[in-house]
C-alpha cells in the first residue's frame, strides 16, 4: 500500500504543483478587478444574513491514512456547531468521500447527493457541476454561504486542514489590491467579471479536490511507512526473543545430557 500510495502521490503532486499557481493567479486577478471597480457590484460578493449554509467537505473512501479522515470529521463537527443556531435542517453537506458522508450522517445532517464514486479521481467536469449548482443556489437565495473543508498539501510529511468561505467571495486586502495598476480591460470590466467569477470558483473547487486527494496519498504513504517500520521493529524484537528462547532450550538440553552423563558414572 505504501508503494501504491507513493506512485499515486507523484501523479497528483505534479498536477497540484502545476494547478495551484494558476488558480492563485486567477484568483488574484479576480480580486484586483473587484477591488478596483468599486461601482461594479457582483451578486457573488453579496454579504447577507445567513439563514442556510452549505458545506463541501473532502475525505477519502477508505481508511489507513492516519488521522486524515478524523481531522475532516472533527473540523466538520466544529463548523456545524458554529451554525447550530440555524438548525440542522438549514445545514446542507456536499460530502466528497465515503468517510465524510458517514461523519455527516452521524451528525444528523442533510446529505446533498452521493459523491463517493468521484472522491478518489478528481475531475474538473465533476467539480464544475457541483460549483455551478452551488452558485445557482447562492444567486437564488437558497443558501447564503458555502464553506469548504479539505486538506492542503504542503509536503509529504505535512498536510493541513483548510476551512474556507467559497461563497460569498470575500475581497482580499493585500499587496495585489493595494498597488495601483494601469491596465486596459476589453471589452469591459463587467463582461470580464461575468466570465471570470464562475471560472475562478469552479477552478477553486477543483483545486481543493486535487489538493485533498494529494494530501490523502501523502498521509496514507506516511501511515504505511510507519506501519512498515513498526512491523520491522516488532519482527526484530520477536526474532531476538525467539533466539533467546531457542538458546535457552539448547542450554537446558545440554545440561540434561551432562547431568545424565554424571549420573551414569557415579
Write down the pLDDT at residue 71: 96
Q: What is the mean pLDDT of each run of 10 residues along the chain (266 residues)?
A: 77 88 88 70 88 97 89 97 95 96 95 92 95 96 97 91 93 52 72 88 96 93 72 78 85 76 59
Relative to beta strand 158-167, strand 145-155 is antiparallel
Write down the pLDDT at residue 39: 61
If DSSP states are collapsed to H, E and C, what string results for 191-215? HHHHHHHHHHHHHHHHHHHHHHHHH
DSSP percent split of the chain into helix, strand, coil, nearest 5: 65, 15, 25
- Tens of pLDDT, residues 154-173: 988 889 999 999 999 976 65
Paired residues of 55 in beta bridges: 93, 147
Write down the pLDDT at residue 229: 62
- Angle (nearest 5°) at CA 58 between 154 and 24: 50
Domains, the chain: 2-224 (3.40.1380.10)
Distance CA 77, CA 79 (A): 6
Write down the pLDDT at residue 175: 46
- Tens of pLDDT, residues 172-199: 655 444 444 566 777 777 888 888 999 9
Write down the pLDDT at residue 177: 46
Write down the pLDDT at residue 34: 77
Pull the grid cell for residue 255.
Answer: 545440561
If DSSP states are collapsed to H, E and C, what string results for 46-99? CCCCCCCEEEEEECCCCCCCCCHHHHHHHHHHHHHHHCHHHCHHHEEEEEECHH
User: How far apart, in Å, are the Cα atoms of 137 and each of 3, 76, 132, 133?
Assistant: 42, 21, 9, 6
- Tens of pLDDT, residues 42-73: 889 899 999 999 999 999 998 888 899 999 99
The two counts, helices (H) then strands (E), for the chain are: 7, 5
Write down the pLDDT at residue 111: 93
Amino acid at each position: 500500500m505504501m508503494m501504491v500510495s507513493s506512485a499515486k502521490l507523484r501523479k497528483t503532486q505534479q498536477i497540484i504543483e502545476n494547478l495551484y499557481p494558476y488558480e492563485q493567479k486567477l484568483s488574484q486577478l479576480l480580486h484586483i478587478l473587484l477591488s478596483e471597480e468599486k461601482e461594479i457590484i457582483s451578486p457573488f460578493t453579496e454579504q447577507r444574513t445567513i439563514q442556510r449554509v452549505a458545506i463541501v467537505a473532502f475525505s477519502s473512501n477508505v481508511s489507513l491514512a492516519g488521522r486524515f479522515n478524523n481531522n475532516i470529521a472533527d473540523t466538520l463537527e466544529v463548523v456545524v456547531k458554529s451554525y447550530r443556531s440555524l438548525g440542522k435542517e438549514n445545514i446542507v453537506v456536499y460530502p466528497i468521500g465515503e468517510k465524510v458522508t458517514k461523519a455527516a450522517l452521524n451528525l444528523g445532517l442533510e446529505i446533498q447527493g452521493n459523491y463517493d464514486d468521484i472522491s478518489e479521481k478528481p475531475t474538473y467536469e465533476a467539480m464544475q457541476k457541483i460549483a455551478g449548482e452551488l452558485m445557482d443556489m447562492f444567486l437564488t437565495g437558497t443558501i447564503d454561504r458555502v464553506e469548504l473543508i479539505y486538506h492542503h498539501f504542503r509536503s509529504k510529511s505535512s498536510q493541513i486542514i483548510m476551512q474556507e468561505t467559497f461563497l460569498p467571495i470575500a475581497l482580499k486586502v493585500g499587496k495585489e489590491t493595494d498597488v495601483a495598476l494601469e491596465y486596459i480591460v476589453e471589452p469591459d470590466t463587467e463582461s470580464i467579471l461575468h466570465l471570470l467569477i464562475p471560472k475562478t470558483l469552479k477552478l477553486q473547487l477543483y483545486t481543493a479536490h486535487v489538493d485533498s486527494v494529494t494530501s490523502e496519498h501523502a498521509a496514507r504513504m506516511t501511515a504505511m511507512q510507519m506501519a512498515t517500520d513498526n512491523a520491522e521493529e516488532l519482527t526484530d524484537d520477536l526474532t531476538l526473543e525467539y533466539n533467546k528462547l531457542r538458546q535457552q532450550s539448547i542450554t537446558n538440553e545440554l545440561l540434561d545430557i551432562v547431568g545424565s552423563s554424571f549420573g551414569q558414572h557415579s
